[in-house]
Structure 1
Amino acid sequence: MNSKRTADKKDSWEWIRALVIAFILAGAVRYFIFAPIVVDGESMMPTLHDRDRMIVNKISYNIGDAERFDIIVFEAVEGRDYIKRVIGLPGDKIEYKDDTLYVNDEPIEEPYLDPFKNGLDGDLTYDFDLTGVTGQMTVPEDHLFVLGDNRQHSKDSRSIGFVPMEKVVGEANIIFWPLTDLQVME
C-alpha cells in the first residue's frame, strides 16, 4: 500500500512538472516569438478591419530586415502599439504626387489600395514629400516611414515621424479572427 501511495505521489509530481514546463514554454513563445494583437480602429482599412485579431511575429526582424509593404506593429509615442504598413526604408526618398507613391523618384504600385481608391472621389493620399512632413530628405538609418492604408484617417509617420527599428514589436502577418477573414498577409 505504501508503494502505491509513493507511485501516486510521483505521478502527481510528474504532472505538476509537465504543467509548469508547458506554462513556461507557452509564456516564452508568447513573449519572445508570437503574440496576438487586436486591430483598433480603421486606419488600415480596407486591408485590416477594426477588431481583427492577428498574430505578430516578434522574431522576423531579429533574423531579417523589414521590407517595403510589410505590416508591422510598433510602440507609438503615446505608449500604445500601432499597426501600419512600411512605405520607406532607410535611405529612401518618399513622395506622393497625384495619389502615386514615388520611392527614390520611381513610381511604385500599391495594389492593396485599389479596392479603397475605386470608391473614392478624389485622392486617397494627399501630396507630400518627406522634407515637408519630417524635415528630412530621406528615411534615417535604423528607421522606417509607415502609413496606414486608410490614408485619409490614419495617424502615421506623416504626423508621428519615423519609427525607430528598436520600437518595432514585429510583423503582423496572420489574421486569425474572425474566421471568415482567416489569412496569411503577404
Structure 2
Amino acid sequence: MSQKNKNRDISADEQISPLIPAYAAYIAAFLFVAGIVSMYFLGRNGQDSFTWKNYLAIALTVCSAVLWFISGMDRTQVLDWFRSGFIALFLALTIRWAIAEPYRIPSGSMETTLHGDPRFGRGDRVFVNKWIYGLRYPFLNKRIWQGKMPERWDIVVFKAVEPDAVHKTLVKRIVGMPGEEVQIRSGRVYINGTPLTLPESIGQEIYYTSPLDGPYGVQSLPQYSQIPDGHYLLLGDNSAHSRDGRYFGWVPNENMVGRVSSIWWPPPRWRDFTGFSQQLWWRGGITVFLLLAVLRLLAGRVCSAKNANGPRGQRCVISFLSYGLLVPFLLKRIITWRRPASGELVLFKVKDPLTKSDFLFLGRIAAVAGERVTFDNGRLCINGSLPESGYFVNKSFETETGNIKYGRIKSKEFSTVPEHAYFLLSDDSAPGACEHDSRTLGWISEDAIVGKAVFCCCGVKQAD
C-alpha cells in the first residue's frame, strides 16, 4: 500500500472529534504515577488506618487510569466504555457483597498463619467466602438467611463488637462454640473441663496466654466462662500479641462476615484453608476458565464492526486462527498459514488519522494482490471479467456516489491491487456503505486483516 493511501483521511462522517483529546493520555499517565508513588509513601508510614490522604491517592490513581483509557475517544465510545464499566462495577460489587471479598491483613495477631503488615503492598491478602454463613444485609449486622453454621477452628472475618475499635473488621479463629464453658489455663484451652487438641491443619503449636486484663475465657465467673447461645469465642493464633475475644468478649453470629478460604497474595504464601482447591468442581472450573482464556486470546472472540446504520455496528464471532497466529492484544500476526480467499467475510481495521484510533469494519475479499478491479454498471469485474461463480455473481454495488475512487478510476494506482493487500467490499446495502470498504478506504493491507468472520448477527451472512 502506498504511503499516500495509508495517510488518506477516512470520510468526513467518520472523522468525529474526540470528546477528550488524545494528549490527555500523557497527563493521565503522569497523574497515575503520582498516585502510585503517593500510595507507596503513605503506606511506608505504617499507619493502622486510612486517612483522607490515602483515599485521595487512591482516587487520583483510579481517575487517572480512567482518563488514560478514554483519551482520544469520541462521545459514543466514551458512553459505551462507561456503560460497560458500570456493568462490570455492578457485577463486581454484587460478588463482593454476596459471594466473596478480598481482605488485607493489617496486623500480626494471626501469625504465623496469616502475615500482617499495615504498610502499602505488604501483608497477606485473603479471600473471604461471604456466602457460606448466609447472605447479610449491606451495612448491617443482620442476615437475610442463615447458611452453614460456623465451626470450631474456622478462620473468620467479623465486625468488631467494641464501639471504639481501631479496626472495625477483624480476623480471628473460632475456638469456643455456643453454650460451651471455656477456660484458658497453662497455655491450653479447656472446653467443659476437657483440653482441646489442635488439628493438624493449623500446622503449629499455639500457647494461649491468660492476660490479667482479658477476663473472657480466663476468669471462672459464669459471665466470663459460659459462652451464650448464638455467640463464639474468637482467638488469635499469635496469642501473646492478639487483642481478641479474651478482651472484647463473645462475638454474636450476626457479626460473622465470612470464612477465610485462602491466601491469594503474595504468591509464595498461597494457601488453601478449606480444601476447595482439591474439589473436582474447582479443578474443573479452573481448567475451563484457563481454556476459555486461551481461546479468547488466541483463537477468537466476539467483535463489533462499524457499519452505515449507526455507531453500534454489527457483532460477529471472529476466528483469529483462520489465517495464522496473532499476538494477544496487539492483533499482529506472527505466523501465517493461509491467506484469505475470494468471498470470505473478514474483520479488518483502519486507523483514523485524526484520532489515531483503530476502527473495525467487515468486508468480503473481492480481489487479491495483482488483480485488476473495475466495475461494469455496478457489477464487480476482476481482470476485466465478471465472476462466473462464488459470492459476487449477480451482485451489484454502489459506484457513482460518495468518495469512490478505487475500482472506478482506471489508472493502475486505483485499479490494481498491490502486493500484500486486498480489495474488500461490504455486504451492507445501506446508503453510505461504500465509505466502509475498499471503494473509499482503498487497498487493505494484509496486516490489517484481524480474522475471519464465522458468525454474524444483524443480517450479515458468514463466509462459506
**TM-score (norm: length of structure 2):** 0.34
Q: CA deviation at 1:131?
A: 6.6
Amino acid at match of 1:167: N
Q: CA deviation at 1:13?
A: 7.6
Higher-RCO chain (CA-CA 8 Å, sequence separation at least 6): 1
Q: What does 1:125-144 align with in structure 2 at a 5 Å threshold?
A: 125-127=208-210, 130=217, 132=219, 135-144=223-232
Q: CA deviation at 1:102?
A: 1.6
Task: Say if 1:39 and 1:53, in contact at 8 Å, map to a contact too.
Answer: yes
Greater mean deviation of Cα atoms: 16-25 or 135-144: 16-25
1:31 corresponds to: 97
**Which of residues 113, 117, 126 is equivalent to 1:54?**
126
Q: Name the structure with the higher helix share.
A: 1
1:44 corresponds to: 110
1:12–1:97 CA distance, 2 compared to 1 (3 A): closer
**Which of residues 247, 254, 258 is equivalent to 1:166?**
254
Per the alignment, in what secondary structure is the counterpart of residue 156 of structure 2? strand
Amino acid at match of 1:35: E
Task: Say if 2:185 and 2:218, in contact at 8 Å, map to a contact too.
Answer: no
Task: Say if 1:147 and 1:156, in contact at 8 Å, map to a contact too.
Answer: yes
Per the alignment, in what secondary structure is the counterpart of residue 92 of structure 2? helix
Residue ranges of structure 2 left out of the alignment (5+ in a row):
1-10, 15-74, 117-122, 135-146, 275-464
Q: CA deviation at 1:99?
A: 2.0
Per the alignment, in what secondary structure is the counterpart of residue 24 of structure 1? helix
Q: CA deviation at 1:23?
A: 2.2
**TM-score (norm: length of structure 1):** 0.80
1:22 corresponds to: 88
For 2:209 and 2:76, locate their aligned partners in 1 and report how far apart those are by CA, in whole Å: 69
2:182 corresponds to: 94
Amino acid at match of 2:152: R
For 2:170 and 2:266, locate their aligned partners in 1 and report how far apart those are by CA, in whole Å: 20
1:38–1:29 CA distance, 2 compared to 1 (3 A): same
Amino acid at match of 1:126: T
For 1:12 and 1:114, locate their aligned partners in 2 and report how far apart those are by CA, in whole Å: 52
Amino-acid identity (%): 31
1:72 corresponds to: 156
For 2:181 and 2:113, locate their aligned partners in 1 and report how far apart those are by CA, in whole Å: 25
**Which of residues 154, 175, 193 is equivalent to 1:105?**
193
Task: Say if 2:109 and 2:237, in contact at 8 Å, map to a contact too.
Answer: yes
Deviations 1:61-104 (A, max 9, x none): 11200000101111112261111000011111112222222222
Greater mean deviation of Cα atoms: 34-43 or 73-82: 73-82
1:109–1:131 CA distance, 2 compared to 1 (3 A): closer
For 1:11 and 1:41, locate their aligned partners in 2 and report how far apart those are by CA, in whole Å: 44
Greater mean deviation of Cα atoms: 68-77 or 90-99: 90-99
Task: Say if 1:133 and 1:159, in contact at 8 Å, map to a contact too.
Answer: no
1:168–1:19 CA distance, 2 compared to 1 (3 A): same
For 2:105 and 2:225, locate their aligned partners in 1 and report how far apart those are by CA, in whole Å: 31
Per the alignment, in what secondary structure is the counterpart of residue 133 of structure 2? helix
Per the alignment, in what secondary structure is the counterpart of residue 146 of structure 1? strand
Could you list the runs of 4 or more consecutive aligned residues of structure 1 that deviate by over 4 angstroms after TM superposition?
9-19, 111-114
1:121 corresponds to: none
Task: Say if 1:56 and 1:173, in contact at 8 Å, map to a contact too.
Answer: yes
Structure with bigger gyration radius: 2
Deviations 1:6-30 (A, max 9, x none): xxx9999877655433321111001
Q: CA deviation at 1:114?
A: 6.2
Residue ranges of structure 1 left out of the alignment (5+ in a row):
118-123
For 1:16 and 1:41, locate their aligned partners in 2 and report how far apart those are by CA, in whole Å: 37
